[in-house]
A = this chain, B = another copy of it.
Amino acid sequence: VNLLLLEPHEVVEGAATIDGPRAAHLLDVLGVRVGSQVRAGIVDGAIGTARVELVDGRTVGLRCGLSDRVPDRPRVDLVLAVPRPKALKRLWAQLAALGVGTIAIVNASKVERFYFDSHALAPSVYRPLLIEGLAQARDTRVPIVRIERALKPFVEDELDVVFGDARRLIADSAYTRSPFDAVRARKERTVIAIGPEGGWTDFERDLFEQNGFAGVGLGARTPRSDTAIVALLSIVHEALR
């Protein structure tokens, strides 16, 4: 963990008192004592440092010296065919660490219906995992998660509201264009739609293409879906650097 993340309600007049896993990490891994400084941030808020004022057993008292600077949202958004629950649980922290502004989890032909009933889609499950990823990447902005069970109306009617004028890409092994080359102008926002293990169907690719998505692919090799997601996000981020 590279950043201690505090919930807004935990910080009162610049002071916070924590116990549990975060306090244990400070005490046992970082070995803090009174006077130590650690990097700290407020969930969806400012970032800065916190000074340890008190250690009482397994409780740590902190005084926060946070800047006014709130990190920008990552410039990459994601439309993701709902992954297998086990894979999704492993993905949440990785997505937050790689940096995603909005994650729209959508339906696709080649996913199993029951994926949507998984508790991996419950905020009580994914929010702590997203925050774990943010702490790793020293970010405070929790990705916005949308669950969209109906792909067609979402793609046809809601994209402008959700993603604004972001460049739109769809990844599939049917396309050969490099995702790096497709992101021409640095600094522009990009949303990338990534299909399920079996890929998007012809109908789905047409739907995305008719709504402004340009096709990109990883080339001849087709890694497993969870690996492909990390690969595609990394390449788009790299192209925006």
Per assembly, the copies of the chain total: 2
A2 at the interface (CB under 8 A from B): yes
Q: Once the chains bind, are B180 and A221 in contact (CB under 8 Å)?
A: no
Q: Once the chains bind, are A94 and B179 in contact (CB under 8 Å)?
A: no
Interface residues of A in 188-237 (CB under 8 A from B): 218-224, 227, 230-235, 237
Interface residues of A in 156-196 (CB under 8 A from B): 178-180
Pick 30 A–B contacts, CB within 8 A, sort by A: A2-B222, A93-B224, A94-B223, A94-B224, A97-B221, A97-B223, A97-B224, A97-B227, A98-B223, A98-B231, A136-B222, A136-B223, A136-B224, A137-B221, A137-B223, A138-B221, A138-B222, A139-B221, A178-B238, A180-B180, A180-B238, A219-B241, A230-B230, A230-B231, A230-B234, A231-B231, A231-B233, A231-B234, A234-B235, A235-B235
A45 at the interface (CB under 8 A from B): no
Question: What 20 new A-B contacts, CB under 8 Å, besides A136-B223, A221-B237, A230-B231?
Answer: A97-B221, A97-B222, A97-B224, A98-B223, A98-B231, A133-B223, A137-B223, A139-B221, A178-B241, A180-B180, A218-B234, A219-B237, A230-B230, A231-B231, A231-B234, A232-B234, A234-B234, A234-B235, A235-B238, A238-B238
A133 to B221, CA, bound (A): 10
Which residue of B has the minimal Cβ distance to A178? B241
Please encode chain A, from 85 to 106, with 1 for each CB lying within 8 Å of some chain B CB and 0 for all others.
0000000011001110000000
